[in-house]
Amino acid sequence: MTQPLMLWTAATPNGWKISIMIEELRELGIELPPVEVIPVDIMNGEQFSDAFKAVSANQKIPGLVHGTIRLMESCAILQYLGEQFPSSLYPSDASRYDVLQWLTWQAAGLGPTFGNKLSYTRYLADVPEEQKVHPLTRFNVEAQRLLRVLDKQLERKSFVCGEDFTIADISIFPWIRGYKWSKIDITVHPNVLAWKERVHLRPGVRRGLAYGVKLGEEEQWSEETKRRYASGGSFMASNQAIAESHSEV
C-alpha cells in the first residue's frame, strides 16, 4: 500500500515499539510509505478523543492507520508492519512461530508486569503506602521470574530468537530499558543486561527511542521531564474522572 502510515503515539514503552520498528525497517533499506506521526497527549486525556477512539477502541496508544486498516495493540501493529514490509524482523519460515511466542510472552507477561510495577512505584501517589506493599512485592517477584526466563533464553544468543534481531526484541526492549524508572533490578541477569546494551547500540533503535522525546533527553530525562511523567502518570493511573469525563456512557 502506498498510503501513509499514520502512527498515533506518545513517548512511552508501547509507543517506542512502533517507532523502533519503523526505524529498523528503514535501517534495513526497506522503502516505507510516508510516515505521519500524530502525538496523543495521554497525560491530558487525548486518548479519550473521538478521533483517537476511532483508531483504538481500547483508548491506549499506539494506534496505526494505513489505508482502510485501523489497528490498536502494539504487538498487532508490529505483526502488521512485519507482514506488510517483509524482512528479517519478522521471518516467514518456521522461526516465525518462535518470534510469535516471545511477542505474546511480552504482551501477556512482561509488559503488564513491568507496567504494573511502574504504576505502583511511581504513579499511584494517592494510594496509602501500606496498600502498595502487596502489589509491589507481587509484581516485583513476577518481574524477576520473567527476567530469569529471558536470561535463560538469551544464553549463547545475540537476540531473543537467535542471531537475527526481530519484533520479539523490539517488543521487549523498551520495558527492559526503562528498568530504573520501574525500579526492577535487571543487573542480576547478565544475559539480559548484555542484550539490552547490544540492542541499545543499534542506530534504528536509537532513532526510534527519540520519537516524542525532547532534544537532548533521548538517553537521560531531565528532572523536569521526570516530574512531568510522574505527575502525568499519577493522574492517569489514579484519576477515574479523566476517563469518565471523556466517556459517552
Nearest approach in angstroms of CB 190 to ligand GSH is 28
Check: CB of residue 13 under 8 Å from CB of residue 175.
Answer: yes
> Which CB sits closer to ligand GSH, 41 or 185?
41
DSSP notation for 142-193: HHHHHHHHHHHHTTT-SBTTBSS--HHHHHHHHHHHTHHHHT---TT-HHHH
Q: Alpha-carbon Rg of the chain, whole angstroms?
A: 18
> Which CB sits closer to ligand GSH, 78 or 161?
78
What is d(CA 228, CA 90) in angstroms, rounded to the nearest whole number?
36
Enter the DSSP assignment of 107: I
Q: Phi/psi of residue 209, each to 5°?
A: -70, -15
Nearest approach in angstroms of CB 3 to ligand GSH is 22
Q: Is 7 in the site for ligand GSH (CB under 6 A)?
A: no
Q: How far, in whole angstroms, is CA 205 from its chain's centroid?
A: 12
Per-residue cell: 35: 510516515
Q: Is 74 in the site for ligand GSH (CB under 6 A)?
A: yes
What H or E segment, with its residue span, contains residue 104? helix 95-105
| Per rule CB under 6 A, count of chain residues that contact ligand GSH | 13
Buried b (16+ CB within 10 A) or exposed e, 93-104: eeebebbbebbe
Q: Is 47 in the site for ligand GSH (CB under 6 A)?
A: yes
> Which CB sits closer to ligand GSH, 142 or 193?
142
Helices (H) and strands (E) in the chain, counts: 12, 4
Residue of the chain from 21, 25, 42, 136 that contacts ligand GSH (CB under 6 A): 42
Q: Is 14 in the site for ligand GSH (CB under 6 A)?
A: yes
Q: Is 236 in the site for ligand GSH (CB under 6 A)?
A: yes
Contact window for ligand GSH (CB under 6 A) among 58-66, 134-142, 150-158, 210-218: 58-66
Contact window for ligand GSH (CB under 6 A) among 19-27, 67-75, 177-185, 214-222: 67-75
Footprint (CB under 6 A) of ligand GSH, residues 100-159: 107
What is d(CA 133, CA 189) in angstroms, rounded to the nearest whole number?
24
> Which CB sits closer to ligand GSH, 157 or 214?
214
Q: Is 60 in the site for ligand GSH (CB under 6 A)?
A: yes
Grid cell 512461530 is found at 97
Contact window for ligand GSH (CB under 6 A) among 60-68, 118-126, 198-206, 219-227: 60-68
The residue ranges that bind ligand GSH (CB under 6 A) are 12-14, 42, 47, 60-62, 73-75, 107, 236
